[in-house]
Amino acid sequence: MESTILAKLTAERQAFTVSELTSRIRDLLEGEFPDVWVRGEISNFKSHSSGHWYFTLKDAVAQLPCVCFRSQNRLIRFQLEDGLEVYARGRLSVFEKRGEYRLLVAYMEPVGIGSLQLAFEQLKARLAAEGLFDPARKRPLPLMPRKIGVITSPTGAAIRDILRILKRRNRGIDVLIFPVRVQGEGAAEEIAAAIRLMNQRDDLDVLIVGRGGGSIEDLWAFNEEIVARAIFHSRIPIISAVGHETDFTIADFVADVRAPTPSAAAEMVAARRDELIERFAALESRAVKAARYLLARWRERLLQLRARPGFLRVRTAVQHARQRADELDYQLQIAMTRRVRATRERFAALSMRLTAQRPSRRLAEIHGRLAVLRNRLEATIRERLHMCRRRLSLAVGKLDALSPLAVLSRGYAIVWNERHVIVRDVAEVRVGERLRVRLFKGRLTAVTEEVELDE
């Protein structure tokens, strides 16, 4: 009997692979829990570099691994931390590689407080710790701004209230409106960018950043960290004017001044014209009274000083000095008059002497004398040249008479033998010897045919 049952069980056995069984369990879980809320305390929270969040929800007796992917956690406003009790909404699934089931979180809310309120408190605490709310860095508003910038929605009630107040209280203020979205996705980035762009101008004295009232979700752009840091780094003083008097945002804490409403912000920057006139009148009255009081005191003081003997001596000394100065001035004028007159007389005398000497006539005489001397010099030079030429001619004649050429010109000749010796005696010549002869004009060669000796 036992062998029969065992054989039957062996024939009916159906084994799953691990993957098949895990896949079946995953399908069962995802089909059974496609959308479930779970309450628990966060533990082992980790924010991965990929942007995904990994943590565990636990209570007193159990734990549930959870994953919140980046595409989902960017919608969660508050910061997750260990120990925080939350409601998590998502679907159950199985991580097959590890064979564990876990909750894929799509949304979370803190227990006992709204998620936005928790995010607000967390950011407020963090920025306060960094010093963004420090009262010491807040700047006073200009008393009489010439131009203000308004960053808000161009179609909201806030801009209408601001313009209406400015028109009523002070028409002399110029307004530059930078239109932005004040709620919804991307509103915070637009507001922060507008603050940075306004700070690139040099003609704005103060900025108003705000909007009208609404829910905490409507006002949330002014609770974003990017707006808070833009306000913190603003070179221009900023008034935060968000919502109603009971609404507080992160922008209110960072701004130099918080206005309870946009209308109140306009009243802060635009002092009433009649108030200013009244204030200036009061200041003028106080200044006049102070000046009169000081004049009276100094006049009384001056009278007291004038009554003192020392002041009288000084006054007498000053009078004497003035008289002495007048006397010296008179003497100086007389001396200058005399000096000018003497200079004029001397100049007139010199002018008369110059006229009497007539320098032009003197120059003509010198020119005539120079002409006579030049004629004499030229005559002397010509005579000396004539004498030189005559002496040169005589010397040339003498040289010509002594020249051998002059002797040759009279028919004589010079004879050389073959040894280039001048022949003076026929005994020195042999018959047949070749002789060279130099005549007055030209040379010739001759052969001796006969030699005759003088007896």
**Sheet with strand 443-447: strands edge to edge:** 414-416, 434-438, 443-447
Residues in a beta bridge with 258? 240
CA–CA distance, 230 with 188 (Å, rounded to integer): 10
Give dist(CA 182, CA 27) in Å, integer: 45
Return the pLDDT at 440. 87
- Full DSSP string of 3-33: HHHHHHHHHH--PPPHHHHHHHHHHHHHHH-
The pLDDT score that the predictor gives to residue 11 is 56
In this prediction, residue 272 carries a pLDDT of: 63
Segment-wise mean pLDDT, segments of 10 residues, the chain, 455 residues: 57 80 90 92 92 93 94 87 91 90 92 83 94 93 90 93 89 91 93 97 95 88 96 96 88 95 91 73 90 90 78 75 84 89 88 75 86 92 92 84 78 89 88 91 91 78
Among residues 216, 229, 207, 225, which one has the least CA distance to residue 183?
216
Could you give the CA distance from residue 313 to residue 401 in angstroms, rounded to a whole number?
A: 123
> What is the rounded distance in angstroms from the CA atom of residue 451 to the CA atom of residue 430?
7
Residue 397, class by beta-carbon neighbours within 10 Å (0-12 exposed, 13-18 middle, 19+ buried)? exposed
Residue at token pair 């159906």: 14
pLDDT of residue 274: 66
AA identity, residue 215: S
Identify the pLDDT of residue 6: 56
In a 13 Å sphere around the CA of 122, the CA atoms on its Cβ side amount to 17
Q: What was the pLDDT predicted at 7? A: 62
In the prediction, which pLDDT does 2 show? Answer: 52
Query: Judging by DSSP bridges, how do beta strands 147-152 and 174-179 pair with one another?
Result: parallel
Return d(Cα 290, Cα 285) in angstroms, integer: 9
Q: How many CA atoms lie within 13 A of 41 on its CB side?
A: 8
> Torsions phi, psi of 298, nearest 5?
-70, -35
From CA 179, how far away is CA 234, in angstroms rounded? 18
Give dist(CA 136, CA 425) in Å, integer. Answer: 147
Phi–psi pair at 269, nearest 5 degrees? -85, -20
Identify each DSSP E strand in 153-274 by its residue range. 174-179, 206-211, 238-242, 257-258
* Number of residues assigned to the chain: 455
Angle between helices 225-232 and 187-198 (to 10 degrees): 10
Q: DSSP code of 450?
A: -
Q: How far is CA 54 from the centre of its chain?
A: 50
